[in-house]
Chains A and B, each alone.
Chain A
């Protein structure tokens, strides 16, 4: 059974750095043609893809957020970590991690974690 679970702070202050962890089970981060994406959704708005990392360590980032994002994985811990620097209230959103399969589709998603940016 494939599951993903996001964890991290629920509240961050403006200018702080957000660190989110996605812990996966039911598959390995070393599986060929699989990876993990981070996707966010501001309240009442559309989905926005942020970043992904594949088993071969290939990474990709949103063009508009590239300078603020890093993504890494620890295969032994089955975890993918996303960091976003210089947080702003407009970054308030539910952040999801999702498994990415070969066709670059997100077939399994975590429940999401709401992150609020406020002083």
Chain B
């Protein structure tokens, strides 16, 4: 199985900050990497697919990059509604696997 490792596991940031979350795969997954946002008590929301393609309706302050084993999710200017937990997920091979999550908290 492909293991997905996210860092950091949590971070504190202020509104307006630029935030970067890293996801590393245990082997090359080319660009088969997706990102989700989850708020407490809610189902995850699909943000980015194929490492860098923004899902329809997702604000442009979100961006993704990377290929192979190393990927990043960047929020260019953190907004109050962005405080949440973010998960990466590889779709290169089955079984599909998620990272452990990164919680973005208010500083």
Contacts and interface: CB of A to CB of B under 8 A. Distances in A.
Interface of A: 37, 39, 46-49, 52, 60-63, 96, 98, 103-112
B94 interface: yes
Nearest to B38: A47
Interface of B: 1, 32, 34, 36, 38, 43-46, 49-50, 55, 87, 89, 91, 94-101
Contact of B98 (A49, A60, A61): A49
A4 to B, nearest CB: 9
A46 B43 contact: no
Given A47-B101, A105-B34, A63 B91 contact: no
8 contacts: A47-B36, A48-B98, A49-B96, A49-B97, A103-B32, A103-B50, A106-B34, A108-B46
Contacts of A39: 98
A104 B43 contact: no
B95 A109 contact: no
A63 B1 contact: yes
B95 A63 contact: yes
A46 B50 contact: no
Given A105-B89, A106-B36, A47 B98 contact: yes
Contacts of B87: 46-47
B100 A104 contact: no
